[in-house]
Structure 1
Amino acid sequence: MSEYDLPRRLAAEFLGTGLLVCTVVGSGIMADKLSDDVAVSLLGNTIPTGAILVVLITILGPISGAHFNPAVTFAFWLKRQIAMTEVVPYVILQILGGIMGTLIAHAMFDLPLLQTSTTVRTGSAQWIAEVVATFGLLATILGGLKFREDAIPWLVGLYITAAYWFTASTSFANPAVAISRSFTDTFSGIRPVDLPGFIVAELIGAAIAVYLIGWLLTPKRAS
């Protein structure tokens, strides 16, 4: 249980999600400007995202738990480690922070602040990828909490760095990030109409992880 009150925890979730999305969108814009090679651009988008997660989880984790992700908050609600009275404001602040991060990224690169993505990201392969990506993220977090809590920033950063490349969807694994990325018609965007499939897949992946990894990490009781 955090020693910080709810307003400070919400501020940490807003700030953390905002900086995360600002990094995702901003590095995508920069990578796209510097290279015409999509693989190089994706690499330029991947490394900053993994790096910023290490930083954000390290400095804000002690305050709010560093969810920055409604799927993570949902998972901890399923585990009864956060009350619904806190889930709702957490998710709202995560989404608002993410959208703010997108707008700031646009401002830094002198782009129109308000945009709507036209990047198509839909279909069963993308949805399966999001189930896998979010399952893996929660498995990483839950395993880290069980065995190496101090390593969670690096575990999450490295997992997302890998998942950018081994999932067909480039591993959104985060409903707040997905919503925020629908507000940018740049390298990292996703069409608003494609959001429901992504969000549902992410929540399914989180729920599977809670129950399957929860079972896996529970030692067999001695008879």
Structure 2
Amino acid sequence: MKKKIFGEVFGTALLVFFGPALVVMGGYNDLLGPSIGWGVSLAVLVYAFGPLSGAHFNPAVTLMMFLTKQMKAAEAVVYVIAQLVGGLIGGLFLTLTYKAYLKGAGLSWSTEVAKNNLNGTVFPNISAGMAFLVEVVLTTVLLVVILVLNNEKTKSYNLQAPIAVGLTIAILVFAAGNLTGASMNPVRSLYPALFAGGLPMQDLWVYLTAPFVGSIVGALIDRFIMND
């Protein structure tokens, strides 16, 4: 279990740091760079920590694994706690490094974070209901890909699975990043919002609930389609 906890803590910490950091410190003006960056980051992390913990890094993935009877309740709880701890570590390191970056560049934390929200996920152009639906659909797509890659009847590309997951993330971020930020992960949204404050905190409930609905939909697909 120690290896699994380490994998989830360290992997989630790196995910919460790398993803927002490449956006707020990368100077991107479009979605191409962030989508590729998020996709590549996740693929690398899955390759690195998959052998240790299965590389969930996401409570929605863990819930789906529990609902599909691929892990027990006690283990799922440990995974979620590890992800929350890892996300906190990643969020703290993101905040510290970004403050140092801004100080060196002679820029103000409050001014810059008001612009980029520390890459917190927001949806300024659509309603909360539509944002919720988008996040449910995005999470469901991601989880179905994971289900197919892990299903005994369909998995045949084990070595390429991290690349497939990374490409899925890249496509989903590119497609919906301007709508909701394409979170698909409560932990990924939680800590940038907590450290940035302001706009990302206002509708944080969307990102803390929609992915879990996607988990339930994914479990139903697994039950009635994948294992029929």
Aligned-partner SS, 1:172: coil
CA-CA distance at 1:99 after TM superposition: 2.0
Instruction: Single out whichever of 70-79 and 174-183 deviates more from structure 2.
Output: 174-183
Q: Does residue 218 of structure 1 match 2:227?
A: yes
Q: Does residue 80 of structure 1 match 2:69?
A: yes
Q: Judging changes above 3 Å, is the alpha-carbon distance between structure 1 residues 56 and 120 closer, same or farther for their aligned structure 2 residues?
A: closer
Partners of 1:214 and 1:137 in 2: how far apart? 17
What pairs with 1:65-214 in structure 2 (closer than 5 Å)?
Answer: 65-109=54-98, 110=100, 120-121=122-123, 123-146=128-151, 147=155, 148-167=157-176, 168-185=179-196, 191-214=200-223
Percent identical residues = 30
CA displacement 1:68-122 (0-9 Å, x = unmatched): 000000001101221111112211110121121122122223156xx89587436
* Paired amino acid for 2:200: R
TM-score of the superposition, structure 1-length normalised? 0.82
Aligned-partner SS, 2:203: helix
Q: Where does residue 27 of structure 1 map in the other structure?
A: 22
CA-CA distance at 1:165 after TM superposition: 2.0
CA-CA distance at 1:161 after TM superposition: 0.2
RMSD: 2.3
When the two structures are aligned, how many residues end up with a matched partner? 204
CA displacement 1:11-68 (0-9 Å, x = unmatched): 110000010111111111113xx35x3x2xx333222211111111111111101000
CA-CA distance at 1:210 after TM superposition: 1.5
Whichever structure has more helix as a proportion of its residues is 2
Partners of 1:70 and 1:174 in 2: how far apart? 7
Structure 1 gap ranges (5+)? 1-5
